A and B are shown apart, each in its own frame.
Chain A
């Protein structure tokens, strides 16, 4: 048995596959490819498939990682070739190799957020609101949290979760590149950031398209 890491992109129609559904999708793709999946022992046996970091539904990604355990008799190159043919539209296999970093090491992620506005004035206004928000002490959003075991809405300051932003305005389109906290302890969905700014601005973009570009470790090095 060995562990192998599959790097893939998730675009177009595949962005509608939710995180949970992605497990089933991969299990089946791997089975179709005839890759010898390793199964757990015992009565309720199941394969070992772990997605490094959940990606929100309706967001695209250039580079995601999934780890699978296989019986040790297929080369990575062959896995790549076979799996490429059995993934649904929008999921492309980029690379298959030995995992280097533990998924727990993921601390940040790079995103590109494309926002579209009715006109260039709105886009400019929104840009100004972003810049202003970033300079303030806090940017609060309502998040579902737990208090004494009960589910409650609580306010969270998301500013500390934003590491870097880079804005580019082009007509009625505003592109936001951002590096934000990612992982199981701290995690920021950029959609939440846009929502928070929209609330301040009291208007929101006509459309928001989010792409995750890469996963990063603690010291902002690429997760391998």
Chain B
């Protein structure tokens, strides 16, 4: 155990509480009584990783097994990394404080592209070779899951096995298999060849990729036991699915420190830019009874005084009124706040609105995403100006004074007219406040506009589109600032170089692995942190590898180009994506899934079933 040695270096670092574990509900086991030791790694700081629901679920799921012990690992901040390297302390699990290089499985969750260099850095800190091919032993096997795995290619040099889709079932199957092969004394190759027989397991080493003269992918070929297409895993029934009744309760302050309950997976909206909306299909709901029970158990075991409902679009949950009734029946007495992110309050009854006002109000947010109706039709964002304004009006009457509006710049077909529309819409929200006789007395309104840069992502109808170049984005940002004339509206942007990097990784092929390695060797890490991100090093890394960012980010693809992720099957049919892309360019909308099934194809993953269509859970 490293405790003694850590004790000596921790006085030299900021927030030492990140690095010692010992939190309530963290799981301590006897290492001699388990067969598989699993290091669940989140490639970012403790505060961010500890806020992530997926990690909490898998942590408890693995620890529910008697034969396995899952520990948490986060990326040490630069000061701690320096101390660890100086004192030769390898990356360790927070529970046992033992080096993870001796574990059997090392699992990373890839939630955003800009965490990739941290994965390499963590492997290196663990004192393991960063490349999969250089790790010859059976264990540790390095696996990765999370939404970025839908295009795993840029990370394929470093990871042994990817798990596309939902991890609840496949994690257990993989642990069973590894346990068996450890006993048998198999070698790594044998294990991997067996592992890919499990549905939803992708081992990049068993695929050969060839390229055309112009740099595009020519062919992706599976070898040996590997399937031509890797179908993502989904859990059929969320009510019977494993869900923890305990969360590790951090002592230091983390980003989200509360009970989080998942209410459904997938999204009925079909916004064409939104990867999450397509990746998590088909739609599956959890019943209000189950959610309520899980919230009750979690709040009791954690002592949290806040519950947050988690989904892509909370108000599309058919069980919402029923769930809120149930929750409010005990949360008020127990002094627990409810927070409902991604909520549209327009379809709420006055009664419910009243009840929500009793509990602490979270900020009011809208995501029109585009400034004009035309562009909103292009991206299929089903929200009209009237809806925004009437909801804002209702909210102002209800006492709200701050509104957040989310937009994107650089969307396909966008013109300066559309950019100006953003400023105009924000202005109209401000006017709505001042024209409202029921507005809160003596208060002023604040509207904040956040304009992210659009990043085309795999498995969306825009996966073939070019990202706007940094210059084009800059022009649009400047124009938006020019068009904003009131002080009541505050505008903020995403940094453009970061969005460019995201675009490269999101649609990169295997050759991008070399760029990531080169950038990491130059010192790149924590790229999602503004104060750490070093664009110049990335530029060098691309040059060193003979690749350009432009090729990956700013190039429009044709429908018949082989995409680097074409061997990944997320259930979404390419024909559907092409149709949606064509409709986008004609500014034609597609109705949401409850009105009419758009034929995305994901229901085939669930035996033809999709809760958007045939499950009415309103009670």
Determine the residue in chain B with the shortest Cβ distance to A30: B303
Cα distance, A32 to B303, chains bound together (Å)? 5
Asked if B16 lies at the interface with its beta carbon under 8 angstroms from chain A, I say yes
Determine the residue in chain A with the shortest Cβ distance to B303: A28
Give the A-binding residues of B (Cβ under 8 A).
Answer: 3, 7-8, 10-11, 16-17, 20-24, 26, 249, 251-253, 300-305, 335
Which residues A155-214 have CB closer than 8 A to chain B?
206-207, 209
- What is the distance, in angstroms, from B525's C-beta to the closest C-beta of chain A? 24
Total inter-chain residue pairs, C-beta < 8 Å: 70
Query: Per a CB cutoff under 8 Å, which of A16, A27, A57, A207 touches B303?
Result: A27
Asked if A52 lies at the interface with its beta carbon under 8 angstroms from chain B, I say no
Task: Evaluate whether A88 and B16 lie within 8 angstroms (CB atoms) in the complex, with A30-B303, A31-B303 already known.
Answer: no
- What is the distance, in angstroms, from A43's C-beta to the closest C-beta of chain B? 9
Determine the residue in chain A with the shortest Cβ distance to B335: A39
Cα distance, A39 to B252, chains bound together (Å)? 23
CB pair B253–A21 under 8 Å, yes or no, is yes
Give the B-binding residues of A (Cβ under 8 A).
Answer: 12-14, 16-18, 21-22, 24-25, 27-32, 34, 39, 45, 57-58, 86-90, 206-207, 209
Taking each of A45, A89, A207, which has the highest tally of chain B beta carbons within 10 Å of its own beta carbon?
A89
A and B contact pairs by CB, cutoff 8 A, 14 listed: A12-B3, A17-B252, A18-B17, A21-B17, A24-B253, A27-B303, A28-B24, A28-B303, A29-B24, A32-B302, A57-B16, A57-B17, A58-B11, A88-B251
Determine the residue in chain B with the shortest Cβ distance to A43: B360
Task: Evaluate whether A29 and B20 lie within 8 angstroms (CB atoms) in the complex, with A16-B10, A207-B8 already known.
Answer: no
CB pair B302–A28 under 8 Å, yes or no, is yes
Chain B neighbourhood of A206, CB < 8 A: 8
Taking each of A16, A28, A45, A90, which has the highest tally of chain B beta carbons within 10 Å of its own beta carbon?
A16
Cα distance, A18 to B22, chains bound together (Å)? 14
Task: Evaluate whether A29 and B22 lie within 8 angstroms (CB atoms) in the complex, with A18-B252, A58-B16 already known.
Answer: no
Cα distance, A13 to B249, chains bound together (Å)? 14
Task: Evaluate whether A16 and B17 lie within 8 angstroms (CB atoms) in the complex, with A21-B252, A88-B22 already known.
Answer: yes
Query: Per a CB cutoff under 8 Å, which of B10, B253, B335 touches A45?
Result: B335
CB pair B24–A87 under 8 Å, yes or no, is yes
CB pair B16–A32 under 8 Å, yes or no, is no
- What is the distance, in angstroms, from A197's C-beta to the closest C-beta of chain B? 17
Cα distance, A22 to B24, chains bound together (Å)? 13
Q: Which 8 A-B pairs have the closest CB atoms?
A: A13-B22, A28-B303, A31-B303, A32-B303, A88-B24, A89-B22, A17-B251, A16-B17
Query: Per a CB cutoff under 8 Å, which of B21, B301, B303, B335 touches A13?
Result: B21
CB pair A32–B10 under 8 Å, yes or no, is no
Cα distance, A25 to B249, chains bound together (Å)? 9
Query: Per a CB cutoff under 8 Å, which of B10, B24, B253, B304 touches A58?
Result: B10
Determine the residue in chain A with the shortest Cβ distance to B301: A32
Cα distance, A57 to B252, chains bound together (Å)? 12
Taking each of A28, A34, A45, A58, which has the highest tally of chain B beta carbons within 10 Å of its own beta carbon?
A28
- What is the distance, in angstroms, from B337's C-beta to the closest C-beta of chain A? 11
Query: Per a CB cutoff under 8 Å, which of A14, A21, A22, A31 touches B305?
Result: A31
Chain A neighbourhood of B8, CB < 8 A: 206-207
CB pair B16–A86 under 8 Å, yes or no, is no
Chain B neighbourhood of A86, CB < 8 A: 24, 303
- What is the distance, in angstroms, from A47's C-beta to the closest C-beta of chain B? 9
Taking each of B17, B21, B301, which has the highest tally of chain A beta carbons within 10 Å of its own beta carbon?
B17
- What is the distance, in angstroms, from A198's C-beta to the closest C-beta of chain B? 14
- What is the distance, in angstroms, from A118's C-beta to the closest C-beta of chain B? 13
Chain B neighbourhood of A12, CB < 8 A: 3, 22
Cα distance, A14 to B20, chains bound together (Å)? 9
Determine the residue in chain B with the shortest Cβ distance to A20: B253
CB pair B22–A90 under 8 Å, yes or no, is yes
Chain A neighbourhood of B20, CB < 8 A: 13, 16
Determine the residue in chain A with the shortest Cβ distance to B28: A89
Cα distance, A39 to B7, chains bound together (Å)? 38
- What is the distance, in angstroms, from A15's C-beta to the closest C-beta of chain B? 9
Determine the residue in chain A with the shortest Cβ distance to B257: A24
CB pair B11–A14 under 8 Å, yes or no, is no
- What is the distance, in angstroms, from A54's C-beta to the closest C-beta of chain B? 15
- What is the distance, in angstroms, from A189's C-beta to the closest C-beta of chain B? 13
Determine the residue in chain B with the shortest Cβ distance to A90: B22
Chain A neighbourhood of B303, CB < 8 A: 27-32, 86
Cα distance, A18 to B10, chains bound together (Å)? 13
Determine the residue in chain B with the shortest Cβ distance to A209: B7
CB pair A28–B249 under 8 Å, yes or no, is yes
CB pair A21–B24 under 8 Å, yes or no, is no
Chain A neighbourhood of B22, CB < 8 A: 12-14, 16, 88-90
Chain B neighbourhood of A45, CB < 8 A: 335
Cα distance, A12 to B20, chains bound together (Å)? 10
Cα distance, A58 to B16, chains bound together (Å)? 9
Cα distance, A87 to B251, chains bound together (Å)? 11
Cα distance, A25 to B301, chains bound together (Å)? 13
Cα distance, A12 to B305, chains bound together (Å)? 27
